[in-house]
Structure 1
Amino acid sequence: MTKILFVTSEAYPLMKTGGLADVSGSLPIALKALGHDVRILMPAYADTLASLGPLHAHHVPQAHSQLDILEGLLPGSDVPIWLVAHPGTFDRPGNPYLSPEGKSWTDNAERFALLSRVAVEVAMNRVGFRWKPDIVHCNDWQTGLVPALLGDEPKRPATVFTIHNLAYQGNFPRAMFRQLGLPERFWSHHALEFYDQLSFIKGGLVYADRISTVSPTYAREIQGKEFGCGLEGLLAQRQDRLHGILNGIDEQAWDPARDPYLPHPFEASDLSGKTRVKSALQKRSGLAQDAKVAVIALVGRLVQQKGIDLVIDVLPQLLELPLQLVILGSGERKYEHALEQWTRLYPDRIALTLGYDEALAHLIEAGADLFLMPSRFEPCGLNQMYSQRYGAAPIVRSVGGLADTVEDASAENLAAGTASGIAFAEAKHEALLQAVYRALELFHDKPVWEQIQRTGMNKDFSWHKSARQYEAVYALAEQDCQALGHSMLARGALA
């Protein structure tokens, strides 16, 4: 049994802005099911506290301010969760990183430096819990200072740092480095300095015993200039410590045979229920109920990373085809506005819902024939896994986790019975359009189409497989930490 402190800035269902929350809400449960002692440490946001019942408060001594760790359980599990409560720091409603105006909170560096410092105190068993982890698993820039700060601690736990999206790095002005009172030796391009800024993420990339990211292909991509976001040299230097582990999905929450959000259940052996769900989706969306017309869906953030601009570019050509579009998401206002205009022009062809609706998301995944994910980059992606499980073949750009989870419907893959979607290479609207043409041709060949659907539905996207891979990374991190400790002792003896 390994004792694991899982440090994160969000975890579903307590707080969610993206895939980090899904991982933080699922991987600890999968690890606990394998027999490990896992505790989650995250901030006590106002909305998080509102969703929980009474919690036991543990006061942590701190000069000039009140700091508590609130103990409870992650909802729907027996995984303990510790919430860092500090007046005026985390107790704000809404997005954990952005103000109501959509701008980053001006004190984000102080907020997540505090989370990191508390994580160090918990990891070193200095808060009275009588529990010291073997592994501290940190996630994204908000926890990047933890491995750096733990580096000064004798007999520290081993550290693993997971990159969920390298584009978000937690970079702040040099003045913030001084304000946080970080050790002066950290101000180096070999440590936390990044083009004369303080970079939280470099704390994890430089100091963690092992680094992981959320798909094998993304682990390779971020070592190159296109996807490395300026950190490709450091990541290439540490490639022997870098692991790509594909995210899993919650197969109980996303199960078309038992999904409470669906009016008709279905499974790979009997797709008749999916036809009825498609009709329900068309009715709910104000579209003609026609089984012969392909429903193409998109659920996600309406931002350039996700390729929504490519979709908007090809709408004139798409609307010449026998298809319907169902879109659910929110993002940059210019893309929302463009989609609203197209929806007003073609209300019988396009159904748009801005925002997020969990029940509708399930209905869309289950009712759609095809699912669009033309991302410019995609560390892992979850919707392409959901769509395959629900018999909606994804149309994806072959990058990151999309390349690792979707087998293109090439002649070779169709013959081998492994095809589960349609993939294209370039982030260009011509390439996307050709992929849609190919998808529609396959859709109208019913035996071939049902083979593609069943192949996707029978894939194993469970967290169990990913959790086993993390077990192996934890073991390597512990070996690295012990070897480093022995090396330091030897240097001390020689001195």
Structure 2
Amino acid sequence: MRILFASSEAYPLVKTGGLADVSTSLSSAIREAHEDIRMVLPAYPRAKADIDALQTVTTLVIDGVTVELLQGILPATNVPTYLVDAPAYFAREGHPYCALDRRDWQDNHLRFALFARVVVAMALNEANLNWQPQIVHCNDWQTGLVPALLSQHAERPAMVFTIHNLAYQGLFPAYRFAELGLSESFWSYHGLEFHNQLSLIKGGLSYADHVTTVSPSYAREIRSGQFGYGLEGLLNYRAQTLSGILNGVDYRHWDPRWDNYIKAHYSPEDLQGKGQCKQALQECFGIEVRPEVPLLGHIGRMVPQKGVDLILKAVEPLLAEKRAQMVLLGSGDKALEDAARALAARFPEDMGVCLGYNEALAHQLEAGCDIFLMPSRFEPCGLNQMYSLRYGTIPIVRRTGGLADTVVDAHADTLADQSATGIVFEPATAPALAAAIERALSLYQDKPVWTQLMRQAMSQDFSWAHSAQHYLELYEGLLGERAHWPATRWEPGKQRSEFL
């Protein structure tokens, strides 16, 4: 199959969250299954710098803008990758979506509309590549216009759109719609209009042939008012073409048996190296080296979604009583950053904070901690809990989204049948998280039980091979269905069943 994978992020070229890891790992796994998948993303400065032997393969003029299409190979993979090089749109240092002051670029709608139009040209074999995909797989709001624009063409590839986090929708004031030069037919509640705003994510939700999200539980949750962000009606309407496929983990990069970022290697059969990793992490954060005290950790965006406020409230008494230590890596809301730094300043011997993101430190934290805290208020899939499992760092998670799909709560029955892999709690409150931590600390004191829990966690297999196979089956199903598509293209507001 010929597949064009469109994303705004791919590790190691650009990363703000899990989308980057998923884009690289999924496309690589599909390539390894001998399918002709190729990636396309904007030509950010670091992306251009980090791909060796980039070549210009074509030059396009899109809405008066000259765009060069560069081609190379995504680092550490065999995935051919195209970069959409329009310097006035993408040659900006720092974050791909916002300026150094953390405010969104005011022309994001124009930037990603241009990106979408280049993807459409590639999809329709109008980019002088002599290659046309059978499937276009789009990801998140930054690519939402691709399915909308392709829907205007009867002869087009099949379209998949993946929601990585519905909280980020690409919303813009209504007047921005006119700046995009789109057909007026798109401005309706069936199309891109959302409560008198322009919603780019609706381009994918309304016009793609199939919508996926990154875990089965999240696919169910976003059809509810609690998690649907006002789009639950559309998602329920599309329920027959909406599914959840759990993200995977690239164990070539995330496994303590060969992770080059960590102090010592270890495995379920030989856990000795984990103690060395713990000491190295304590020294790195400048906290007291106390091997007997459980070390708690967290990595993630410091935003309300991730429950960082719950973590800070729940661990404060433990730090005061010197019953646990805490290390935190992330950045986000200034109020949460300030609160984390203030707590670390009060307990400098037992809490460390690193604001920002550091890939090496993320690996070291996964390896060196005893317990990983992930009390997300919602979590489409989550990767860190799966990383934690492989590193024997017992995750404490809230029962939501992908967290519910990947962690088995430790209680009498699951400990007895050796299916337990972590601690799961329900209410999104600091007391509920504190109670879950207490359960973990109690288990931690029983070394044989804790060691068995670690080994069971490390034996879980969430490799991308499983997830990629589900996507391949989806692609094949769409191509088989395509043979029965009518001459009249499907449009929002019409059920596909009308055409079959």
TM bucket, shorter chain: over 0.9
2:328 corresponds to: 327
Contact 1:209 1:481 in 2 (8 A): no
In structure 2, distance between residues paired with 1:464 and 1:450: 28
Alpha-carbon distance in structure 2 between the residues aligned to 1:483 and 1:198: 33
CA apart distance, 1:290: 2.7
Identity over aligned pairs, percent: 51
Alignment partners' CA distance in 2, 1:470 and 1:65: 34
CA distance 1:61–1:280, shift in 2 (3 Å): closer
Distance 1:377 1:352 in 2: 23
Which residue does the alignment assign to 1:493?
A: none
Equivalent in the alignment of 2:19: 20
Query: Which residue is equivalent to 1:7?
Result: 6
After TM superposition, the structure 1 stretch with the greater mean CA deviation from structure 2, 124-133 or 306-315, is: 306-315
CA–CA distance in 2 between the matches of 1:103 and 1:341?
Answer: 25
**TM-score, with normalisation over the residues of structure 1?**
0.96
Q: Secondary structure at the match of 1:125?
A: coil
Matched, 1:179 2:159: no
Pairing of 1:42-121 with structure 2 (within 5 A) = 42-57=41-56, 58-62=58-62, 64-121=64-121
Task: Report the equivalent of 1:38.
Answer: 37
1:316: Cα distance to partner? Answer: 3.1
Q: Which residue of 1 aligns with 2:318?
A: 318
C-alpha separation in 1, matches of 2:64 and 2:267: 59
> Who is 1:137 aligned against?
137
Residues 65 and 188 of structure 1: CA distance in aligned 2, closer, same or farther (over 3 Å): closer
Q: Which amino acid aligns with 1:41?
A: V
What per-residue deviation string (whole Å, max 9, x for no partner) do you get for residues 62-95 of structure 1?
A: 4643211011110112211111111311111111
- Tell me if the contact between 2:316 and 2:343 (Cα under 8 Å) persists in the aligned partners: no
Q: Which amino acid aligns with 1:26?
A: S
User: 5+ unaligned residues in a row in structure 1: which ranges?
Assistant: 490-495
> Greater shift after overlay, 415-424 or 42-51?
42-51
Q: Tell me the residue number matched to 2:344.
A: 343
- Provide, for residues 7-60 of structure 1, a one-character-per-residue CA deviation record: whole Å limited to 9, x for no partner: 111111111111111111111110011110011011111221122334211211
- Could you report, residue by residue, the CA deviation over 1:263-283 in whole angstroms, capped at 9, with x for unpaired residues? 211001111111222122223
Separation in 1, partners of 2:328, 2:69: 40
* SS of structure 2 residue aligned to 1:485: coil
Write out aligned runs for 1:415-434 (5 A).
415-434=416-435
Do the aligned partners of 1:47 and 1:94 also contact (CA within 8 Å) in 2?
Answer: no
CA drift of 1:209 comes to 0.6
Q: Which amino acid aligns with 1:15?
A: V
State the 1:412 CA deviation.
Answer: 1.7
TM-score (norm 2): 0.95
How many angstroms does 1:136 deviate by? Answer: 0.2
CA shift digits 1:94-123 (9 cap, x unpaired): 111001111111111011111111111100
Equivalent residues in 2 for 1:206-217 (5 A)? 206-217=206-217
Q: Number of paired residues?
A: 490
1:172 touches 1:197 (CA, 8 Å); kept in 2?
yes
Q: Report the 3-state secondary structure (helix = DSSP H, G, I; strand = E; otherwise coil) of the residue aligned with 2:95.
A: coil
| 1:488 CA drift (Å) | 5.2
Question: Deviation per CA, 1:159-189, whole angstroms, max 9, x where unpaired?
Answer: 0000000011111122211221111111111
Query: Is 1:462 aligned with 2:463?
Result: yes
Say if 2:411 is the partner of 1:410. yes
| Secondary structure class of the residue paired with 1:314 | helix
Matched with 2:249 is 249
Write the distance in 2 (CA, Å) between the matches of 1:488 and 1:249.
Answer: 37
Gaps of 5+ in 2: 491-500
- Contact in 2 for aligned 1:141/1:169 (Cα 8 Å): yes
Taking the aligned partners of 2:122 and 2:173, their CA distance within structure 1 comes to: 28
Q: Is the 8 A contact 1:66 1:87 kept in 2?
A: no
Find the counterpart in structure 2 of residue 492 from structure 1: none
How well do the aligned residues superpose, as a CA RMSD in angstroms? 1.6
CA contact (8 A) 1:40 1:79 kept: yes
After superposition, what is the alpha-carbon deviation per residue over 1:425-461, rounded to whole angstroms, capped at 9, x for unaligned? 0101110010010000011111111111111111111
Q: SS at 1:137's partner residue?
A: strand
Structure 1 residue 295: deviation in Å?
0.6
